Each structure stands twice: as C-alpha cells, then as structure tokens.
Amino acid sequence: MKDLVNGLKSSINRRSFIKKGLTVAGAATVGAGMLASGSPTFAKGREEGSGKLTKGDAAILRFAAAAEIIETDFWVQYNELGGIQDNEVPGGSGNPAYTAALKVLDGDMDQYIHDNTEDEFTHQNFINAYLASKGADTVDLSPFVTLPGSTATGTSGKPRLTNLMQLTVDTSWWTRYRSRNKNPDLDPNFKFPPAIPGLLAGQFPAIPRNDNDLTPAAHLQAIANTAAFHFPTIEQGGTSLYPSLALRVTDVEVLRILLSIGPTETAHFQTWHDKAGNAPPLTDPTNGLTFPDLNSPPFGGQNFQTNLIMPEPCAFLSRKLPVCSIIRPTKTEGIAMGVVQFLTAMGLFIGQSPQFFAVLFDLAEDADAARREGKR
C-alpha cells in the first residue's frame, strides 16, 4: 500500500492537474480559473491533455479517478476509526467503542471496512497511473483536502476532502433493487421510498465527531447504523456509475478498465446491503433519528424484507421484453453530473470551497460530453 501511495504521489507530481477553479460556484463554463500553481487566471482554462487516448476516454477516466479519490478519502476516515489500521491501510489507531458498535451488525465489519478502503486506494491509483501511462493529464484533488475531520479517539487528525459528519443518506436504492416492476431508467419520475426515511430528514454523523459522541450507547449505535447505510448507498452509486460510463468509451482497453473495476463496486454494494439489514432498530435519544424494524409492519414484505439482497428482476430496455435481474440505473446520459449531485446532496462536501465544486463540475461536464467513437 505504501508503494501504491508513493506511486500515486509521483504520478501526480509529474502532471499536476487543477484547472478552471472558479470563484463563483455554478459558473463552470465562464472560465475564470485557478491553475496548478494556485495562481488565478481569468482566461479560459487550458483543456486537459488526452495523450494517446481519445478526448472522451480520457475525460471519462478522469471523472472515475476523481470519484475514486473522493471514495478513498472517506473510506480512510471510516478505517481510521472503525476498520483495521495496518501496513495495507495505514492511518489512525481505531476507536474501540465505534468499532464495537459497527460489529453489532457483523463481527467482520472492521475487516470489510479495511478491504473496501484498500480497494478504493488501488482504484484511484490505477486509473491515474493509466492516464499518465498514456500521456494524459491525471487528477489531483489534494489542494481541497482542507476540511477538519473527527477529533474522536483513534483519528489521525488529518485534514479531509469529504465530510462524514453531516450526512443526509438517501436509502431509496433499498426499494429500487427490490421493485419487480419499476426501473429508474424506464420510470424516471417514480419515487422509490427510502428504507430509512429519517436519514433523509436531517444531517447525521456517520463517524463519532469527537469523544462526546461515544455516549449514550444508543447514540453511538445510531452513528454506526448511519455508516452501515451510507456504505451501500455509496457503493450502489459506483455500481451504476461504471456501466453508465462504459457505454460511452471508445477504446477496448479503457472499456476493460471500467468493466473490471465496476463489478468490484458491486461486490462492495452487495456486502454492505447485507450488513445494513442487520442494523438494530432504535431511536437516537439525542436527535430522534429512528432506524425502524424493516421486517415488521409498516415495513416488511417484498419492498423492505432485509434478506432480499439480490436484485429482483425488473423491466429492462423495454417492457415488451421479459423482466431481468440487472444493475439499475445504467442510463448513460448525464451520469457524471448526476453522481456529483448525488454526492453533494448527501452532504459529503459540506464545507468545501467553490473552487472544489468548479473542478468537479468541469470533470463531470467533460465526462458527460464524451461520446463513443468509431471502432478502434
């Protein structure tokens, strides 16, 4: 892992990439920018280099790299406090009370958190290294690693790119994957109900913010439960992102990268989906956040039963065709910006600068503009 991290650093140093940071959020097309040196520029930022890749393939890989850097940042935070800190995933020293609360769901939670964290490190490292190997610009979000993180026992205390302490978690994927007749690609206006409505109705920590969050026990368990639903919420996003991006790449080797990383996100999702169902029903006495018993009325049944973790078949492509058990959604149009909106609405970037959003919007716009070109 140390070699991987060093490799990432050197590839970033060769091709530092920050462009078109904006002082006004949302004005991503205006073109006032910030170059790698940090010097503001008011000319249109230079286009990223694609090297031997098509412009679209490089843009898609850069967006995937950014998503993986973001994933790595918050998985590291989870691992420092609730995972296993070792030479594969260094950093932090563990928070015994939080780790124990996570293990209420499954005795192997710490191992799974560790392994998921390591996977994300390798994803971001590989994609950036591949871009560099093709002479294309890579992605560096390190100037935005500025947010204060948890100060609870066990943290490394390092600044962070993402915020795990004010999350609004949309658990509607729970019913989306249980539905036998609705597919978001065919029914874009259908609202799948969330499994945990309370998680959509406020901002909640998924890690202890400080040692005051370690008690009372039901509060700490609610924090662990929040994490347990955040894990599959994120990983189902990756599960849809990769096939959606793959539909627009040109080079078969780039396709192979997306088709090989994407299913590992699905492996993560499937594991976390199973564990989330073990979250003990409770109400957080400090803020009222409730985790209902998903196996009893008004929950339960086809839409909520916790052991229905394999995707139910649903309509796919056309209702004239037979139903099929599939990943959904996989509609490719606007997928990158959709992921940015999904992560932003989740509260993952609360505290981030307008420059950060401008860089992310730009990467997403370029990825969404990519089109599959003639056979290569």
Binding site for Fe ion (CB under 5 A): 68, 71, 120, 123, 235, 238, 265, 268
Q: How far is the CB of 115 from Fe ion (least distance, A)?
A: 11
CA distance 307 to 274: 7
* 231 vs 304 by CB, closer to Fe ion: 231
Q: CB nearer to Fe ion: give 68 or 137.
A: 68
**Residue 71 vs 140, nearer CB to Fe ion:** 71
Nearer to Fe ion, 120 or 140 (CB): 120
Q: What is the closest distance, in whole angstroms, from the C-beta atom of residue 338 to Fe ion in the complex?
A: 17
Provide, rounded to whole angstroms, the least separation between the CB of residue 260 and Fe ion: 11
Q: Judged by CB, which is closer to Fe ion: 234, or 358?
A: 234
Cα separation, 235 vs 274, in Å, equals 13
Distance, in Å, from the CA atom of 159 to the CA atom of 144, rounded to the nearest integer, reads 9
Smallest separation, CB 169 to Fe ion (Å): 15
Task: Report in angstroms how near the CB of residue 349 gets to Fe ion at its nearest.
Answer: 17
Give Cβ neighbours of residue 374 (< 8 Å, ≥ 6 apart). Answer: 250
Separation CA 125–CA 61 (nearest Å): 12
CB of 57 vs Fe ion, minimal distance in Å: 18
Cα dist. 45→19, 21, 122 in Å?
6, 9, 29
Q: Please answer whether residues 370 and 247 qualify as being in contact, where contact means their C-beta atoms are separated by less than 8 angstroms.
A: no
Smallest distance from Fe ion to CB 329, Å: 17
Q: Are 195 and 294 in contact (CB under 8 A)?
A: yes
Closest CA to 242 of 54, 8, 60, 66: 60
Q: Which is nearer to Fe ion, 67 or 370 (CB)?
A: 67
CA 69 to chain centre: 9
Range 28-32 contact pairs with CB under 8 angstroms and sequence separation of 24 or more? 28/358, 28/361, 28/362, 28/365, 29/365
Measured from the CB atom, the residue of 134 and 268 that comes closer to Fe ion is 268
Residue 181 to residues 189, 210, 325: CA-CA distances in angstroms?
14, 44, 11
Smallest separation (angstroms) from Fe ion to the CB of 63: 13
Closer CB to Fe ion, 32 or 234, in the complex: 234
Cα–Cα distance measured from residue 4 to residue 20, given in angstroms and rounded to the nearest whole number:
28
Residue whose entry in the numeric block shows the structure tokens 């994609």: 127
Residue facing Fe ion at closest CB distance = 123
